[in-house]
């Protein structure tokens, strides 16, 4: 006999719940909010006493610089005040939001705020929650900005890179990191096991700690080792570490913690917690680190540039150049930062603009524009059209819109450029030049070699997250405004003839979606979710788009073939890598990107566009044209016209911009014939 | 509550023996709570209280034996003691009352009593996840008859008690951290089916999940004389023209009437208590195949590139409850059906649902249909007519529901549509698959000055500071709700007049083939078209939230069919409609000429 009785809530007496008295937050005004007062409270472990006034200090630029920046160097500085402090230290950190975990509940809503946890001996697990005040916080993984360039890091972080300090490990003392209490470590703990979001894995001994993946500063990440088993790892570099930041909600309201979104850049201020009792202090040598994942490239100090190797996957030869440096913090433990305050970095360009003494007029922009086109074309075999196209591609930036382009991601103004190059040797040369130069002018530049082998091996898969696991390490997870070079690499010997398998097809479809819709589908178990991917893509390939219509490169908005010219009148730019020249280009690009939304207010432009569209359509009537004018063409012309306006830092499109866009489009189409 | 009810029951039925069964035969299962909690806003104050959550089941563990009564035997005198488990702890007897020996007891595993327990992971559904965030989840524990009652992919409303437990530093060390792990002890599972997407409409009611105010609003809309035009106008307003295509797509969104009386039992063990779509717990009968008539409408959009086909697909999949978008080029057979994968957490082999299974009771949008491999297409034959997909992999044999409408788009094989060739020749799809589509639309891009001018005007208008897109009179969210409400609650019946109209229309279509040619006639309509007409007219009735299919619905269905069929099934050589082209891949004229040739050759 099985009897089921179902009741609605109406028929049930409401359960009486003892509502704990909510303490008021520390809203009191501090008489003189200062860095000293905050540091004193942090030193004393009296985190809860930090007032609202003091928190507001974190928005001030002058204050920011006085807070130590959390990088790998932080852990081995000689300041005993910092490293011997068992309570934690106040730090600042800049990175990209990489992954979010399930909310975490902690005991002692006020007593344990900004602390990772206390140990409770002989806690009665059966009645643990009774008479306790539980608080909720949201753990978020923040990683160093992928492939950030040296100059961009200096501007954003405000801390100069000190590569020589990496080799200086003699001052290092593991025992004094974070907590002074050196205890026997429990090596079987991994990051997940320490936090509340590991309900499934808790009882599963088969899941063990995995080392984090590293990428060297300014160097490319080795994606050849990326596989499904490396989900619990996070990108980091020799300079910067990943952190697990814990965000707290408002104390006096039952609302979820305010927090940044995935892939957003953020500056956080918080209190560290790095318990060495849970860490494994095997010193990790840089050589070993390189073996883990990274392609570490020695820094050429003479011209302050980083030289990249042609083949990203053969890094063995570099290992001999590396000093033996310990990887700190220990790879077994990711540092926790309890966030007191965070500032989202909405636009990186505003950080890079150096205001000139006088307000620039339009001719200044024209000069800069011309200089950039010449500089780019000198890399692209003196092809001025390619130079201009590259400039527009680099200037493109997503503008939120009401999905003007049907089915689009809601972004307007982004574009991608496909450069068809004669042969693979030339791809190598041009690719090298582009990487070297763009690495100096773009905040972060990612080079993704693509071939059937790499696609089939799942190296370019979009991020995947299943259950409470961490996001898989994907090269396609980047912050807004990243520059991506997709380079068709030579196939691996003996493996070039296979067909693209389902894994490869997933990658292809993700890359196509990235270029066409500015969105990448992240896989979450049973469903995919589209995440904004406002990247500037440049594809280098030997395939003409018309040869293979289904090729990745065909998803690009601008497609052209590089025609090498040996024109003696072509302006040669010899001072490409001089610091003032680089600064000039960076400044120009940032200013143009900061213009904002480009409006189409001139009726004359609209009329010209209508007339041109009808005229070009008409010219195809009756013809069995391979390339007839379609809706997409008009959208492309408008995008080019808007980018032309942006290249003059002008917030609206003029007829000249429209005409220039059409000329460029015709020139690009002409190059394909 | 269980105890109180049991006592009351025992009073009413004195012959009720409480101890006959180890499992609790009488259980109280409260559900339909007034307030629905959200996984992101689980206030710590809700710990140890009854809450209700919505989400998608993403993972289930194998059955876990949960110790309820521990049996201990003294190793000296073999005295047996049974101890009940209390809050997860079992008090091991320390002193034997028989021989007075201390610490002489050993646990006898085969004499202990275990209950069934299952660990389940519930994750937010895609529509609930705020933009730019990853989904979060919570662990559920189901006990006794709730074990194996849910499957990954199910959208459920869970009622249960939220628990928190301190985390140990190590499972073998009693030291705990002041960080808690949370889970939900499940009391009731309620399957939401396709209507699981109704959210953000204020207080829920039993009427399909919508508030009374919302229902009033939708009924008022349905009574408007121009509701059909309004709905068409609201569907993808930024896509220019394509009115008839949009009308067909609307019919698909609303769907016809599914004549399927067998509950969702295909994958469930025959003796298990399951939760059906209505949320009632029923004991499933053995699987039996009843007569099944599909009500889902399949549409194929075929035509030149750059004609907004993909955009329409992208729009529809976002609008539809349980809409899934996939590309034929990137899809494999397992990607559409289900794959057997090893669960990274439990290391068990589990079925991971593909696009067709995930869009059960929804719409599966397949772009670049023509680029699908042969093997993948073969899967669709079963899915499109039988509404199931069969999986036989790694020792797992399963037949999964795929009651989905398919909206596909295909490009011609030569990049541009060649009007001198047939549809089958142009898109190179097998006729067996093509004939399963109710409507096939040809969207061709013919330059026309007047039309181009209007198109340019429309496109340019999109780029103005204030885009000149006509704001539809029906807001997007209302359209979404309206479709979900109509799909769930409206079951239209054919009226006599509508039946007569459909029959006469069908006969007219049949006659068309005969009248145009003396002697042997072409087949201009098959019974499949009649079924499609019924589905279309039912969909049109649902658009008015009407339970009766009227004559005008039948007329409109005939018109839509004619518009779609005329273009797709017209033989370019004769200019006549010939359904044979779609059903067999060859026009009647071609077949006749082949037969003539064969006869001539034989005679020779």
Asked if B179 and A117 come within 8 Å (Cβ–Cβ), the reply is: yes
Task: Spell out which residues of chain B touch residue A119, defining contact as CB-CB under 8 Å.
Answer: 169, 175-178
Whether residue A168 has pLDDT greater than 80 = no
Asked if B347 and A206 come within 8 Å (Cβ–Cβ), the reply is: yes
Asked if B456 and A613 come within 8 Å (Cβ–Cβ), the reply is: yes
Q: What is the pLDDT of residue A147?
A: 84
The answer, for A196 touching chain B at a CB cutoff of 8 Å, is yes
Tens digit of each residue's pLDDT (9 = 90 or more) over A614-657: 888 777 655 455 567 777 788 888 888 989 988 888 888 888 88
Whether residue A151 has pLDDT greater than 70 = yes
Contact A504, A456 (CB under 8 A): yes
The answer, for B4 touching chain A at a CB cutoff of 8 Å, is no
Tens digit of each residue's pLDDT (9 = 90 or more) over A277-327: 554 444 444 444 444 333 322 223 333 333 333 333 233 333 333 344 334
Exposure class string for A463-491: b at 16+ Cβ within 10 A, else e: bbbbbbbbbbbbbbbbbbbbbbbbbbbee
pLDDT band of A333, cuts 50, 70, 90:
low
Q: What is the pLDDT of residue A563?
A: 77
- d(CA A107, nearest CA chain B) in Å: 5
Q: Running DSSP on this structure, what letter comes out for residue A478?
A: -
pLDDT band of A557, cuts 50, 70, 90:
confident
The answer, for B12 touching chain A at a CB cutoff of 8 Å, is no
Name the packing angle between helices B449-462 and A603-618 (round to 10°).
Answer: 140
How many whole angstroms separate alpha carbon A597 and alpha carbon A599? 6
Asked if B459 and A613 come within 8 Å (Cβ–Cβ), the reply is: yes
Q: Tell me the mean pLDDT per 10 residues along chain B, length 604.
A: 81 70 70 84 82 86 83 88 78 84 85 86 84 86 85 83 77 69 88 51 46 82 84 78 83 78 40 37 41 76 76 78 71 67 64 74 81 75 77 71 83 73 72 80 76 79 69 79 83 84 81 55 68 87 86 86 72 61 62 78 82
Stretch among A204-218, A577-591, B281-295 having the lowest mean pLDDT: A204-218
How far from the centroid of its chain's Cα atoms is residue B84's Cα?
A: 44
How many whole angstroms separate alpha carbon A360 and alpha carbon A363? 8
- d(CA B100, nearest CA chain A) in Å: 29
Q: What is the pLDDT of residue A444?
A: 86
Tens digit of each residue's pLDDT (9 = 90 or more) over A365-412: 778 888 888 888 888 888 888 899 999 999 888 776 554 444 444 456
Rg (CA), chain B: 30
How many whole angstroms separate alpha carbon B149 and alpha carbon B123? 17
Q: In chain A, which residue's Cα lies nearest the Cα of B174?
A: A122
Task: Spell out which residues of chain B touch residue A616, defining contact as CB-CB under 8 Å.
Answer: none
Q: What percent of chain A has pLDDT over 90?
A: 1
The answer, for A41 touching chain B at a CB cutoff of 8 Å, is no
The answer, for A22 touching chain B at a CB cutoff of 8 Å, is no
The answer, for A469 touching chain B at a CB cutoff of 8 Å, is yes
Whether residue A466 has pLDDT greater than 80 = no
Interface of B with A in 534-563 (CB under 8 A): none
Whether residue A173 has pLDDT greater than 60 = no
Task: Spell out which residues of chain B touch residue A265, defining contact as CB-CB under 8 Å.
Answer: none
Residue B446 burial (C-beta neighbours within 10 Å; 0-12, 13-18, 19+): exposed
Whether residue A166 has pLDDT greater than 60 = no
pLDDT band of A183, cuts 50, 70, 90:
very low
Task: Spell out which residues of chain A touch residue B133, defining contact as CB-CB under 8 Å.
Answer: 100, 261-262
Q: Which of B136, B344, B353 has the CB atom closest to A526's CB atom?
A: B353
Residue A266 β-bridge partners:
A95, A344
Name the packing angle between helices B551-568 and B527-543 (round to 10°).
Answer: 130
Asked if A524 and B178 come within 8 Å (Cβ–Cβ), the reply is: no
Q: Which of B49, B132, B281 has the CB atom closest to A261's CB atom?
A: B132
Higher pLDDT, residue A136 or B293: A136
Stretch among A252-261, A476-485, B376-385 having the lowest mean pLDDT: A252-261
First-residue to last-residue Cα distance in chain B: 91
Task: Spell out which residues of chain B touch residue A139, defining contact as CB-CB under 8 Å.
Answer: none
- Count interface pairs A-B at CB distance under 8 A: 304
Q: What is the pLDDT of residue A110?
A: 64
Asked if B59 and A118 come within 8 Å (Cβ–Cβ), the reply is: no
The answer, for B56 touching chain A at a CB cutoff of 8 Å, is yes
pLDDT band of A186, cuts 50, 70, 90:
very low
Higher pLDDT, residue B110 or A205: B110
The answer, for B60 touching chain A at a CB cutoff of 8 Å, is no
Most confident of A146-150, A384-388, A579-583: A384-388
Question: What is the torsional sign of CA B540, B544, B547, B550?
Answer: negative
Q: What is the pLDDT of residue A346?
A: 79
Asked if B464 and A254 come within 8 Å (Cβ–Cβ), the reply is: no
Whether residue A149 has pLDDT greater than 80 = yes
Q: What is the pLDDT of residue B572?
A: 58
The answer, for B8 touching chain A at a CB cutoff of 8 Å, is no
Specify the residue for token string 């912050």. A479
Asked if A125 and B88 come within 8 Å (Cβ–Cβ), the reply is: yes
Tens digit of each residue's pLDDT (9 = 90 or more) over A92-102: 888 999 888 88
pLDDT band of A218, cuts 50, 70, 90:
very low
Cα-flanking dihedrals φ and ψ of residue A8, to 5°? -90, 170
Q: Which of A2, A118, A199 has the CB atom closest to B181's CB atom?
A: A199
Cβ-Cβ contacts under 8 Å for B393 (sequence gap 6 or more): B339, B340
Whether residue A220 has pLDDT greater than 60 = no
pLDDT band of A163, cuts 50, 70, 90:
very low
Tens digit of each residue's pLDDT (9 = 90 or more) over A486-538: 887 655 555 555 677 777 777 887 888 888 778 888 888 777 788 888 888 89
Whether residue A217 has pLDDT greater than 60 = no
Cβ-Cβ contacts under 8 Å for B417 (sequence gap 6 or more): B302, B303, B304, B426, B442, B444
Q: What is the pLDDT of residue B201?
A: 31
Which one, of B135, B53, B194, B338, lies nearest residue A528 by Cα?
B135
The answer, for A108 touching chain B at a CB cutoff of 8 Å, is yes
Cβ-Cβ contacts under 8 Å for A568 (sequence gap 6 or more): none
Higher pLDDT, residue A53 or A661: A661
Q: What is the pLDDT of residue A284?
A: 45
The answer, for A613 touching chain B at a CB cutoff of 8 Å, is yes
Q: Which of B43, B119, B126 has the CB atom closest to A529's CB atom?
A: B126
Q: In chain B, which residue's Cα lies nearest the Cα of A11?
A: B30
DSSP per-residue codes, A193-204: HHSS--TTGGG-
Interface of B with A in 314-343 (CB under 8 A): 314-315, 324, 327, 329-332, 334-335
Q: What is the pLDDT of residue B582?
A: 58
- d(CA B338, nearest CA chain A) in Å: 11
Cα-flanking dihedrals φ and ψ of residue B527, to 5°? -55, -25
The answer, for A171 touching chain B at a CB cutoff of 8 Å, is no
Mutate to test the interface with B, among A23, A105, A623 (most CBs of B within 10 A): A105
């Amino acid at each position: 006999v099985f009897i089921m009785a179902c009741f609605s809530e109406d028929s049930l007496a409401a359960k009486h719940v003892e509502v704990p008295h909510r303490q008021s937050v520390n809203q009191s005004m501090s008489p003189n909010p200062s860095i000293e007062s905050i540091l004193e409270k942090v030193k004393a472990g009296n985190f809860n006493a930090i007032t609202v006034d003091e928190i507001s200090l974190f928005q001030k630029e002058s204050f920011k610089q006085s807070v130590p920046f959390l990088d790998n160097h932080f852990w081995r500085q000689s300041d005993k005040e910092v490293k011997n402090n068992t309570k934690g230290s106040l730090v600042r950190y800049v990175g990209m939001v990489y992954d979010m975990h399930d909310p975490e509940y902690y005991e002692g809503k006020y007593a344990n705020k900004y602390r990772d946890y206390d140990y409770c001996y002989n806690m009665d697990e059966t009645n643990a929650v009774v008479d306790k005040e539980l608080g909720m916080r949201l753990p978020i993984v923040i990683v160093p900005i992928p492939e950030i360039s040296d100059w961009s890091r200096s501007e954003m972080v405000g801390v100069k890179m000190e590569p020589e300090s990496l080799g200086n490990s003699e001052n290092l003392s593991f025992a004094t990191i974070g907590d002074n209490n050196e205890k026997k470590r429990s090596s079987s703990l991994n990051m997940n096991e320490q936090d509340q979001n590991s309900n499934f894995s808790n009882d599963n001994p088969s899941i063990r700690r995995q080392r984090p993946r590293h990428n060297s500063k300014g160097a490319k990440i080795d994606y050849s080792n990326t596989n499904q088993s490396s989900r619990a790892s996070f990108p980091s570099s020799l300079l910067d570490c990943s952190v697990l930041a814990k965000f707290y909600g408002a104390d006096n309201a039952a609302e979820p913690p305010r927090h940044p979104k995935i892939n957003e850049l953020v500056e956080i201020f918080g209190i560290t917690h790095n318990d060495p009792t849970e860490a494994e202090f095997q010193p990790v040598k840089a050589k070993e680190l390189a073996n883990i994942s990274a392609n570490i490239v020695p820094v050429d100090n003479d011209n302050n540039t980083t030289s990249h190797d042609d083949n990203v996957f053969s890094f063995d030869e570099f290992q001999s150049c590396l000093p033996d440096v310990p990887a700190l913090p220990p790879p077994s433990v990711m540092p926790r930062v309890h966030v007191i305050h965070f500032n989202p970095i909405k636009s990186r360009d505003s950080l890079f603009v150096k205001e000139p003494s006088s307000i620039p007029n339009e001719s200044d922009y024209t000069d800069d524009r011309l200089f950039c086109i010449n500089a780019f074309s000198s890399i692209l075999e003196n092809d001025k059209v390619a130079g201009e196209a590259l400039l527009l591609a680099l200037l493109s930036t997503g503008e939120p819109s009401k999905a003007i382009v049907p089915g689009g991601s809601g972004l307007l103004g982004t574009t991608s450029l496909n450069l068809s190059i004669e042969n693979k040797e030339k791809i190598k040369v041009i690719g090298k030049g582009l990487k070297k130069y763009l690495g100096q002018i773009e905040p972060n530049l990612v080079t993704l070699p693509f071939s059937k082998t790499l696609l089939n091996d799942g190296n370019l898969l979009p991020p995947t997250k299943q259950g409470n696991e961490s996001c898989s390490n994907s090269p396609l997870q980047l912050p807004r405004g990243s520059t991506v070079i997709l380079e068709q690499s030579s196939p691996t010997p003996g493996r070039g003839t296979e067909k693209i398998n389902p894994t490869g097809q997933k990658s292809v479809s993700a890359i196509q979606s990235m270029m066409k819709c500015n969105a990448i589908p992240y896989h979450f178990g049973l469903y995919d979710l589209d995440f904004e991917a406002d990247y500037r893509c440049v594809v280098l390939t030997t395939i003409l788009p018309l040869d293979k219509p289904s090729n990745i490169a065909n998803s690009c908005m601008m497609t052209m073939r590089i025609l090498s010219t040996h024109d003696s009148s072509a302006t040669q730019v010899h001072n490409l890598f001089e610091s003032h020249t680089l600064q000039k280009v960076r400044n120009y690009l940032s200013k143009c990107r900061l213009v904002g939304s480009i409006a189409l207010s001139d009726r004359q432009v609209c009329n010209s566009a209508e007339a041109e569209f009808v005229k070009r359509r008409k010219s195809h009537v009756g013809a069995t044209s391979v390339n007839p004018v379609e809706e997409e063409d008009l959208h492309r012309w408008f995008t080019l016209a808007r980018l032309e306006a942006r290249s003059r830092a002008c917030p609206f499109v003029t007829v000249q911009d429209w005409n220039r866009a059409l000329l460029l489009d015709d020139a690009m189409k002409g190059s394909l014939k | 509550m269980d105890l109180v009810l049991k006592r009351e029951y025992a009073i009413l039925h004195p012959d009720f023996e409480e101890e006959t069964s180890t499992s609790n035969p009488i259980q109280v299962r409260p559900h339909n709570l007034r307030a629905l909690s959200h996984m992101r806003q689980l206030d710590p104050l809700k710990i140890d209280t009854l809450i209700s959550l919505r989400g998608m089941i993403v993972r289930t563990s194998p059955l876990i034996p949960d110790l309820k009564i521990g049996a201990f035997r003294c190793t000296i005198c073999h005295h047996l003691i049974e101890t009940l488990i209390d809050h997860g702890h079992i008090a091991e007897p320390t002193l034997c009352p028989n021989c007075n020996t201390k610490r002489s007891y050993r646990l006898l595993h085969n004499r202990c009593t275990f209950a069934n327990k299952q660990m389940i992971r519930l994750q937010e559904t895609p529509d609930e996840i705020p933009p730019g965030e990853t989904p979060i989840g919570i662990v559920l524990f189901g006990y006794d008859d709730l074990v194996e009652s849910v499957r990954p992919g199910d959208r459920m409303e869970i009622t249960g008690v939220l628990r928190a437990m301190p985390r140990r530093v190590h499972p073998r060390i009693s030291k705990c951290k002041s960080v808690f792990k949370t889970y939900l002890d499940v009391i009731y599972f309620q399957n939401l089916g396709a209507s699981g997407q109704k959210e953000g409409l204020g207080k829920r009611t039993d009427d399909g999940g919508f508030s009374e105010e919302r229902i009033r609003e939708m009924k008022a809309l349905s009574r408007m004389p121009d509701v059909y035009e309004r709905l068409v106008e609201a569907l993808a307003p930024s896509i220019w023209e394509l009115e008839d295509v949009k009308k067909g797509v609307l019919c698909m969104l609303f769907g016809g009437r599914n004549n399927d009386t067998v509950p969702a039992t295909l994958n469930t063990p025959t003796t298990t208590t399951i939760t059906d779509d209505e949320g009632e717990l029923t004991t499933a009968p053995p699987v039996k195949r009843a007569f099944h008539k599909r009500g889902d409408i399949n549409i194929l959009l075929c035509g030149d590139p750059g004609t907004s086909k993909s955009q329409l697909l992208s729009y529809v999949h976002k609008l539809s409850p349980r809409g899934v978008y996939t590309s034929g080029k990137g899809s494999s057979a397992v990607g559409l059906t289900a794959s057997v994968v090893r669960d990274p957490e439990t290391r068990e082999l589990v079925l991971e649902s593909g696009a067709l299974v995930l869009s059960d009771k929804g719409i599966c949008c397949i772009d670049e249909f023509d680029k699908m491999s042969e093997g993948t297409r073969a899967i669709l034959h079963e899915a499109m007519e039988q509404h199931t997909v069969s999986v036989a992999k790694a020792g797992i044999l399963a037949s999964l529901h795929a009651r989905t409408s398919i909206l596909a788009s295909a490009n011609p094989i030569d990049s541009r549509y060649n009007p001198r060739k047939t549809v089958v020749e142009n898109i190179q799809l097998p006729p067996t698959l093509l004939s399963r589509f109710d409507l096939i639309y040809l969207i061709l891009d013919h330059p026309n000055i007047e039309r181009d001018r209007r198109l340019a005007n429309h496109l340019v208008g999109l780029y103005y500071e204030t885009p000149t897109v006509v704001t539809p009179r029906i807001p997007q969210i209302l359209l979404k709700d309206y479709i979900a409400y109509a799909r769930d609650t409206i079951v239209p019946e054919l009226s006599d007049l509508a039946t007569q109209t459909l029959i006469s229309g069908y006969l007219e279509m049949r006659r068309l083939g005969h009248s145009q040619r003396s002697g042997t006639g072409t087949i201009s309509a098959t019974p499949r078209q009649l079924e499609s007409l019924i589905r279309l007219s039912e969909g049109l009735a649902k658009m008015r939230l009407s339970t009766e299919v009227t004559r005008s619905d039948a007329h409109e269905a005939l018109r839509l069919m004619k518009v779609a069929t005329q273009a797709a099934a017209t033989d370019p050589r004769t200019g006549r409609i010939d359904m044979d082209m779609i059903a067999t891949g060859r026009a009647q004229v071609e077949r006749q000429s082949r037969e003539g040739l064969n006869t001539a050759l034989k005679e020779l």
